[in-house]
Amino acid sequence: VQLQASGGGSVQPGGSLRLSCAVHGLDLDYYAIGWYRQAPGKERDWVSSISSSSRLTNYADSVKGRFAISRDNANKTAYLQMNSLKPEDTAIYYCAADPSFGVFGSRVQPNYWGQGTQVTVSS
């Protein structure tokens, strides 16, 4: 199983980025996907998650209204569209997969993790 996050980079405040998470070795029809981030010197925090069918989505308060999560099961890829970026969004972003949508945002760790992609928001 492999989850590959990409799309990070450096942007100015107010800018946008779109992260992708390519999933290999899992049938995405049965897995929820989530995004987490870890800023320097801080714990890894949950950002957003989407259910296997895309019917349910959830967002941390800090990104609500600015970020949008989506997925394409046929192409085994999930996305995180990030708009109106702020310096406090600077972090390494990770994608994760788990059969249970309810895992994301809870204390339980998802089953599968990808490597991170760096997002830097700075003027």
Instruction: Return the SS3 of 88.
Output: helix
Q: Distance between CA 105 and CA 78 in Å, rounded?
A: 17
Q: How many of the other CB atoms lie within 10 Å of CB of 60?
A: 16
Q: What pLDDT does 42 receive?
A: 96
CA dist list (Å): 6 to 15, 61, 68, 97, 108: 17, 23, 16, 16, 24
**Residues 92-101, mean pLDDT to the nearest whole number:** 98
Hey, what's the torsion of the CAs at 17, 21, 101, 107, to 10 degrees? -80
Q: Distance between CA 90 and CA 33 in Å, rounded?
A: 21
pLDDT band at 110 (very low <50, low <70, confident <90, very high): very high
- Per-position b or e across 18-27, b if 16+ CB within 10 A of its CB: ebbbebeebe
**Residues 8-28, mean pLDDT to the nearest whole number:** 97
User: In which element (H, E) is residue 56 found?
Assistant: none
Query: Residues 36-94: pLDDT tens digits?
Result: 999 999 999 999 999 999 999 999 999 999 999 999 999 999 999 999 999 999 999 99
- The strand pairing partners of 23, in sequence order, are 3
The percent of residues in the chain predicted with pLDDT above 90, rounded, is: 99
Roughly how many angstroms between the first and final C-alpha of the chain, as a whole number?
Answer: 37
